[in-house]
Amino acid sequence: MTNSLLEVRDLRTDFLLKSGRLRVVDGVSLTVEPGQALAIVGESGSGKSITMRSVMRVLPKTARIAGGSVRLDGRELTELPERQMRQVRGRQIGMVFQNAMEALNPTLTLERQLTEHLSWHGICGKAEARRRAIETLGDVGIPEPEKRIRTYPFQLSGGMRQRAMIAMAMVARPSLLIADEPTTAVDVTVQRQILDLLAEFKARGTGIVMITHDLGVARYFCDDAVVMYAGRIVERAPVRELLARPSHPYSTGLFRSTIEVGGRDRALAPIPGAPPDLAQRPPGCAFHPRCERAESVCRENEQMLLPLTVNGVSRGTSGRPGAVREAACWKVAAHG
Amino acid sequence: MSFASYMAKRIVRMVLSLVAVSMITFTLLQMAPGNFADIQRISAGAAQFGGAGTEDMVHAFASRYGDDIPAWRQYLIFMKGAATWDFGPSYKYPTRDVQDIIAQGFPISATIALIAVAISLVIAIPIGMFAALRQNSPADHGTMFVITLGTALPNYLTGVILVVIFTLTFGILPSSGWSGPEHMVMPILALVLGPTAVLARYVRSSMLETLREEYVVAALAKGGRQSVVITRHALRNSLIPIVTVLGPLLASLMTGTVFVEALFRIPGLGLFFAQAAASRDMPLLMGTALFFALILMTMNLIVDLVYGYLDPRIRAAGGVSRWRSQKRLSRQAA
């Protein structure tokens, strides 16, 4: 069997608090192939960012990976010595953040920020690094890159800054790009451009993990999606299937609470309540207090993530090979 | 805005401030009880008043200001001289002009101050970084506890302790005078402790704030070694707030540290300033006060220029205050 680009199995990450360990990522598994994009969808606090930061092992001081496996091109990352892990970051995995204004250092020129990791990783010399940085700035659609490379982040417009940050992530040509809400902080007009830009890198073979709470963004260019709630995956499906026929009540709720252009006929229905405090995780299915379909079984026991089947035939994968459709819900399983 | 017009504006503002400082100082001096002659008479004893020393003094009075002229004219005469850096003779040291006293005392005070602050910085930056990187650990709490003790210990007390150790016990350093490097050691040591404590606290809190910035995470995500990310990305940005404290700190030390100079009998500016205030020596007090104000404002100007060097956003906005107001506006807009 050939290796996937990224293969995460049963990943668990804890926050070490004074009161004890708090599991914020609980048994997450996901796969990304080259040239494919996976959306991780969920509300803030659902553990989607921490999942991907665990993959890169760039975690807050108080967070620890408690178990599971992360394989990049077949190589296990969770046990890699820090020294070798540094070579993975920035070189094999690039990361794009929500707000370029914050993710770019305000006091350093673009040149310095785009080239420094090329020399950290010993990829090339200074002159070559500069050449590559200019080339990448051009790739992301920044006009006059030879001139712009000398500027500071604050001298760029919001959209250009976002592009520059993507260039910083892509300059070392990583095979996997993690994009953490890359369109949340920019204008709607810029959003589309940023997504198109990411789609270009995808078309060239980069695997992308898109962390988002916006289903529209997920639909625009992701192939598969996982929905996270309270640190766990509650549904996994090809994006189109997920949007057409969400099966987990939480996914349905997310979909119904999203404002969409052209969706005027559809009434907006926000999910009642708030995501649970992980320190006081509800027993049974974590979503049951907010779920309109909850029954006694949901309050007592938790359902595993199970494939959706109709009469033993897996359902809703559009027939694409490798596509999986799973949900963790008693009600769905009962209907399947 | 061009740099030249920026500087011109700053200098005009400095001159106006100096005029205000002179007026306030002069008014306060007029309102203070007693005058120079009274105080001399009391401290020297009535019998000596009118002796040889005071003859000089009366002469200096008369030659420069005339007898019994109104206060506002005294002020104008003084300021006319001050405009050309001529403050006239001191009352107490009638044979010396105030500007000569400043020219002699300031280099001494400034040397001590510069060395003390430089040493403080060199110690404070690593200490602050050390504590910040181990936030809330015993090492952090321990360091900050010692630092707090440092702030609590006044420099004259540290000075006394140093004298007890190095002069009285070991006899290796002279306790007073100003004629060689051996005279500089103890005053500088006495002065280092306080600023070190203050600066280390600032470095720590500033560093903690910077470490939370997303660009630090972004640099780590690019594969940066922690030490490299800290020195290249975090340190420079966390030094910007330090520069703010550094300016006034340096200014206050440069213009003389009364206690330490008195303790070690150093002929610095602080000593003269204190004497001038105590004896109502108008020219000396006005001269030193104006000089202090000038130094403080110059330091603030340098701070702002260094700001611009450290942070290109400030450079582009044309000064710290403009940058701050722009930031405020954009925050309101958002």
One domain, residues A107 and A126: yes
* pTM, entire model: 0.80
Cβ distance B214 to A106 less than 8 Å, yes or no, reads no
CA B36 to chain CA mean position, Å? 27
Cβ distance B312 to A95 less than 8 Å, yes or no, reads no
Whole-angstrom distance, CA of residue B210 vs CA of residue B205: 9
Cβ distance B312 to A154 less than 8 Å, yes or no, reads yes
Segments forming the whole domain that contains residue A256: 6-92+174-335
One domain, residues A294 and A193: yes
Domain boundaries, given as residue ranges, for chain B: 98-333
User: What ipTM did this prediction achieve?
Assistant: 0.89
**A58 CB near a chain B CB, below 8 Å?**
yes
**B180 CB near a chain A CB, below 8 Å?**
no
Residue of A nearest to B217 (CA): A58
Identify whether the C-beta of residue A35 lies closer than 8 Å to the C-beta of residue A238: no
Domain presence at residue A323:
yes
Instruction: Say whether pLDDT at B1 is over 70.
Output: no
Q: What is the pLDDT of residue B52?
A: 47
Cβ distance B218 to A104 less than 8 Å, yes or no, reads yes
One domain, residues A187 and A261: yes
One domain, residues A180 and A239: yes
Three-state DSSP state, A212: strand
One domain, residues A57 and A196: yes
**A209 CB near a chain B CB, below 8 Å?**
no
Which of A16, A88, A105 to mutate to test binding with chain B, by most B CBs within 10 Å of its CB?
Answer: A105
pLDDT-derived band at B47, boundaries 50, 70, 90:
very low
Q: What is the pLDDT of residue A195?
A: 92
Final residue of a structural domain among A173, A202, A226: A173
Q: What is the pLDDT of residue A3?
A: 80
B176-209: per-residue pLDDT in tens? 888 888 888 999 999 998 899 999 999 999 999 9
Domain presence at residue A227:
yes
**B226 CB near a chain A CB, below 8 Å?**
no
Cβ distance B223 to A120 less than 8 Å, yes or no, reads yes
One domain, residues A139 and A193: no
Q: Residue A316 half-sphere exposure, CB side, CA atoms within 13 Å?
A: 22
Instruction: Say whether pLDDT at B166 is over 60.
Output: yes
Q: Distances in Å between the alpha carbon of A52 and those of A41, A329, B112, B218?
A: 12, 24, 54, 13
Q: Name the architecture of domain B98-333.
A: Orthogonal Bundle (1.10)
What CATH number has the domain bearing residue A237?
3.40.50.300
Report phi then psi at A29, rounded to 5: -125, 135
Final residue of a structural domain among A119, A152, A173: A173
Domain presence at residue A1:
no
A256-283: per-residue pLDDT in tens? 877 665 555 566 677 888 888 888 888 8
Q: Which of residues 156-185 of A touch B (CB under 8 A)?
A: 165, 168
B245 compared with B94, residue with greater pLDDT: B245
Q: How many domains does chain A have?
A: 2
Tally C-beta pairs within 8 A across A and B. Answer: 77
One domain, residues A178 and A234: yes
Q: Which of residues 186-215 of B touch A (CB under 8 A)?
A: 213-215
**B327 CB near a chain A CB, below 8 Å?**
no
Cβ distance B233 to A97 less than 8 Å, yes or no, reads no
One domain, residues A60 and A186: yes
Cβ distance A88 to B223 less than 8 Å, yes or no, reads yes
One domain, residues A194 and A303: yes
Q: What is the pLDDT of residue A215?
A: 85
DSSP symbol at A271: P
One domain, residues A257 and A294: yes
Final residue of a structural domain among A110, A142, A173: A173
Cβ distance A104 to B215 less than 8 Å, yes or no, reads yes
Nearest chain B Cα distance for residue A166, angstroms: 11
Tens of pLDDT along chain A (336 residues) come to: 578 999 999 999 999 998 889 999 999 999 999 999 999 998 888 999 999 999 999 999 899 999 999 999 999 999 999 999 999 999 999 999 989 999 999 999 999 999 999 999 999 999 999 999 999 999 999 999 999 999 999 999 989 999 999 999 999 999 999 999 998 888 888 888 899 999 999 999 999 999 998 888 888 889 999 999 999 999 999 998 888 888 899 998 888 877 665 555 566 677 888 888 888 888 889 998 888 888 888 888 888 888 886 555 555 555 565 677 888 988 875 444
One domain, residues A180 and A159: no
Nearest chain A Cα distance for residue B306, angstroms: 13
Which of B140, B215, B226, B322 to mutate to test binding with chain A, by most A CBs within 10 Å of its CB?
Answer: B215
Spatial CA neighbour of B238 closest among B116, B331, B114, B128: B128
**B137 CB near a chain A CB, below 8 Å?**
no
One domain, residues A67 and A112: no
Cβ distance B215 to A105 less than 8 Å, yes or no, reads yes
Domain presence at residue A132:
yes
